[in-house]
């Protein structure tokens, strides 16, 4: 192993690159101003913060939280926590206070770094409602702090301490077996599970990625996915490993506006990014005159032909090469400019990417490096090779990672990238492992060309197209408290948000109609009545106030026919058959999106 810890890798690169820029970001108070940090500045600030943490008696094994959107302080705090052999516990910036409370209580967290007012308000509530949290460090220096247990990051960083000697000893004692982070994901019952990853798991991925990914010290990546997610965090570490520069975007909703200003050469994306971009492209195209639309379609069709040659590294025929030159000038180059003028590749993972989108953006000339992984595998399992790939697959297995297909065609993963277990959950850990193999819960196979194909999800856990895990049972149990709901099935796997199919209790629905003095000829009319739907939506919104935004049911459809054993929508033990229901009502589900 080349390094004993992630911070050791950072210090090694800082010694090599010194005054070269490693981080770029927008000024928090003047978004039009681009700021930067050099490798020396990154290493120095990390060292200063590490010493402050030591001075306050934080040490090996302490679980320290980061609750913020992306910013340079997030990265420095993470590195400083790891530098003293403590453990970073990230929170998604949109997490609810109930989710945060669960994590703080389970980890016994004493210290938390927070970003803006939203996170600060929740952290202040946690101070009063948890038994362990004692101190809050606030990144945004314009926020008003009214609690003695809060301090601004800039003041905390500059506290006059000198713990260089102690820090040196701690660094010398660091090992790859040290726990680096606990990343919380939703369990099938709705109770979060803390995935424990050692320094080794991250460090081991670096040389593997170097064999597969085209990235070097001249590359500029843009981190707009949450650093609290394994995909962006592992990728960012790799950017530093190769000596590249990382532009840290604070607001992911502004990514399309910022891309042409930053002009990254590469960036990680989730399928939802391509869904939204594609929708925007088609909306714009539909505004054009017919002749311009025909030029667009011709150019894209040329791109599809070129892509079919490129996926096997075959040379282009002369006529196709000429057509492609014309298509590039007319459409394709302009299409790629959405991503900036320098974009070369976009690693994409986190959920299922629809095949038509994958092919479309390859046709546009963007190498979408589609891959597969999980938090439990430090993200790294498979991805496309630049010179050979199958669109129907999730790429070939990364070097140094073992994959096999187990019972029920379940994808199993083994290697140093596999997690150390679920925090304080030995039973769940034992269930997820079999003879050293991690059971992914995903169904798949190995293609004739040796690529990994993920066909379905065995475990009953949805994953939205933005890469968020959602427990349908948890939401169904919550909404099931509403007496008007007789049955419901939550939908959202590989979709942009969560929806629901609801079978209402007709007696209560009729009572509601009577209360509102609604006249109707039959029950079907009631199911589509705007006043009824508004009433139910309002009640459901109240029930979902404790949920983070990505778990909330955005739209629902009322069904006339209940789920029964007879219509094959219930099992003999009265459990809903999700796949049967989703297939039966596919058209109604599509309307909700």
Domain boundaries, the chain: 6-175, 271-462, 471-591
DSSP conformational letter for 415: S
Percentage of residues of the chain with pLDDT beyond 70: 98
What topology is assigned to 6-175 in CATH? Rossmann fold (3.40.50)
425: confidence class by pLDDT, cuts 50, 70, 90: very high
Residue 244 has pLDDT above 70, yes or no: yes
> What is the model's pLDDT at position 574?
66
Mean predicted confidence (pLDDT) in 499-524 = 92
Task: Evaluate whether 339 touches 274 at the Cβ level (below 8 Å).
Answer: no
Architecture of domain 471-591: 2-Layer Sandwich (3.30)
Residue 188 has pLDDT above 50, yes or no: no
* Tokens matching residue 584: 């039966």
CB atoms within 10 A of CB 182: 25
- Sort residue 326 into left (φ over 0), alpha (ψ -120 to 50) or beta: alpha
Give the whole-angstrom CA distance, residue 237 versus residue 377.
15
In the block, tokens 């539909």 appear at 286
145: confidence class by pLDDT, cuts 50, 70, 90: very high
> What is the model's pLDDT at position 160?
94
- Sort residue 463 into left (φ over 0), alpha (ψ -120 to 50) or beta: beta
- Sort residue 404 into left (φ over 0), alpha (ψ -120 to 50) or beta: beta
Q: Mean pLDDT lowest for which of 193-197, 454-458, 519-523, 588-592?
A: 454-458
> What is the model's pLDDT at position 104?
98
Residue 31 has pLDDT above 50, yes or no: yes
Residue 394 has pLDDT above 90, yes or no: yes
CB atoms within 10 A of CB 168: 10
Give the whole-angstrom CA distance, residue 31 versus residue 427.
47
Mean predicted confidence (pLDDT) in 555-569 = 90
Residue 564 vs residue 363, higher pLDDT: 363
Beta-bridge partners for 453: 445
Long-range contacts of 138-147 (CB under 8 A, 24+ apart): 138/113, 138/114, 139/68, 139/71, 139/73, 139/74, 139/113, 139/114, 139/115, 140/28, 140/115, 140/116, 141/28, 142/28, 142/29, 143/116, 143/117
Reported as type and span, the H/E element at residue 533 is helix 530-543
Residue 568 has pLDDT above 50, yes or no: yes
> Does this chain's domain 6-175 share its CATH topology with 271-462?
yes
Mean predicted confidence (pLDDT) in 324-352 = 94
Give the whole-angstrom CA distance, residue 284 versus residue 287.
5
Residue 561 has pLDDT above 90, yes or no: yes
Reported as type and span, the H/E element at residue 405 is strand 402-405
Residue 187 has pLDDT above 70, yes or no: no
The CATH class for the domain spanning 271-462 reads: alpha beta
Task: Evaluate whether 177 touches 348 at the Cβ level (below 8 Å).
Answer: no
* Tokens matching residue 431: 């269930």
528 three-state secondary structure: coil
CB atoms within 10 A of CB 148: 6
Residues 6 or more apart whose CB falls under 8 angstroms from that of 233 comprise 78, 90, 181, 227
> What is the model's pLDDT at position 186?
66
The pTM is what? 0.85
139: confidence class by pLDDT, cuts 50, 70, 90: very high
Mean predicted confidence (pLDDT) in 79-99 = 94
Task: Evaluate whether 250 touches 24 at the Cβ level (below 8 Å).
Answer: no
Order across the sheet with 382-383: list the strands: 345-348, 367-372, 382-383, 396-397
Give the whole-angstrom CA distance, residue 482 versus residue 292.
52
- Cα atoms found within 13 Å of the Cα of residue 536, Cβ hemisphere only: 32
Residue 353 has pLDDT above 70, yes or no: yes
Percentage of residues of the chain with pLDDT beyond 90: 83
Q: Which of 555, 353, 574, 591 is nearest to 467 (CA)?
A: 353
**Mean pLDDT of the residues in the chain:** 94
Q: Mean pLDDT lowest for which of 5-14, 17-26, 206-215, 462-471?
A: 462-471
Residue 132 has pLDDT above 60, yes or no: yes
């Amino acid at each position: 192993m080349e390094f004993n810890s992630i911070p050791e890798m950072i210090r090694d690169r800082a010694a090599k690159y010194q005054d070269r820029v490693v981080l770029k970001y927008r000024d928090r108070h003047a978004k039009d101003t681009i700021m930067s940090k050099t490798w020396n500045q990154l290493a120095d600030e990390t060292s200063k913060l590490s010493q402050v943490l030591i001075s306050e008696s934080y040490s090996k094994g302490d679980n320290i939280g980061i609750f913020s959107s992306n910013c340079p302080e997030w990265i420095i705090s993470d590195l400083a926590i790891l530098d003293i052999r403590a453990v970073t516990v990230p929170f998604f910036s949109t997490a609810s206070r109930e989710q945060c409370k669960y994590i703080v209580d389970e980890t016994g967290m004493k210290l938390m770094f927070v970003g803006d007012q939203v996170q600060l308000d929740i952290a202040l509530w946690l101070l009063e409602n948890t038994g362990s949290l004692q101190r809050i460090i606030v990144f945004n220096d314009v926020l008003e702090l009214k609690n003695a247990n809060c301090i601004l990051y800039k003041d905390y960083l500059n506290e006059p301490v000198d713990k260089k000697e102690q820090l040196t000893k701690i660094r010398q004692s660091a090992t790859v077996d040290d726990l680096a982070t606990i990343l919380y994901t939703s369990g099938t019952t709705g109770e979060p599970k803390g995935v424990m990853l050692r320094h080794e798991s991250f460090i081991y991925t670096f040389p593997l990625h170097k064999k597969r990914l085209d990235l070097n010290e001249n590359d500029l990546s843009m981190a707009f996915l949450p650093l609290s997610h394994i995909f962006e965090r592992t990728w960012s570490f790799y950017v530093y490993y190769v000596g590249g520069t990382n532009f840290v975007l604070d607001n992911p909703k502004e990514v399309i506006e910022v891309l042409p200003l930053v002009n990254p050469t590469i960036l990680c994306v989730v399928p939802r990014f391509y869904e939204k971009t594609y929708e925007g492209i088609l909306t714009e195209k539909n505004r054009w005159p017919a002749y311009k639309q025909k030029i667009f379609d011709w150019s894209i069709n040329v791109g599809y032909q070129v892509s079919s040659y490129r996926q096997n590294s075959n040379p282009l025929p002369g006529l196709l090469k000429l057509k492609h030159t014309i298509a590039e000038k007319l459409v394709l180059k302009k299409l790629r400019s959405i991503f900036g003028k320098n974009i070369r590749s976009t690693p994409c993972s986190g959920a299922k990417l629809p095949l038509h989108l994958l092919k479309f953006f390859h046709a546009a000339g963007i190498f979408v490096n589609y891959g597969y992984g999980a938090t439990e595998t430090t993200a790294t399992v498979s991805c496309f090779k630049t010179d050979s790939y199958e669109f129907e697959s999730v790429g070939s297995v990364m070097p140094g990672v073992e994959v096999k297909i187990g019972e029920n065609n379940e994808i199993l993963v083994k290697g140093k990238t596999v997690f150390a277990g679920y925090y304080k959950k030995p039973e769940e850990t034992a269930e997820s492992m079999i003879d050293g193999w991690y059971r992914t819960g995903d169904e798949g196979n190995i293609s004739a060309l040796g690529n990994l194909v993920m066909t379905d999800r065995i475990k009953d856990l949805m994953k939205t197209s933005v890469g968020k895990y959602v427990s349908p049972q948890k939401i169904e149990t919550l909404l099931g408290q509403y007496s008007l709901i007789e049955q419901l099935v939550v939908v959202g796997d590989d979709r942009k948000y969560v929806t629901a199919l609801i079978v209402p209790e007709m007696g209560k629905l009729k009572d509601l109609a009577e209360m509102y003095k609604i006249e109707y000829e039959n029950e079907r009319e009631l199911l589509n009545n705007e006043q009824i739907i508004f009433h139910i939506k309002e009640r459901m919104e109240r029930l979902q106030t404790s949920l983070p935004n990505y778990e909330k049911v955005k739209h629902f459809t009322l069904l006339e026919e209940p789920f029964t054993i007879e219509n094959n929508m219930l099992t003999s033990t009265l459990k809903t058959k999700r796949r049967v229901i989703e297939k039966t009502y596919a058209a109604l589900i599509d309307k909700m999106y």
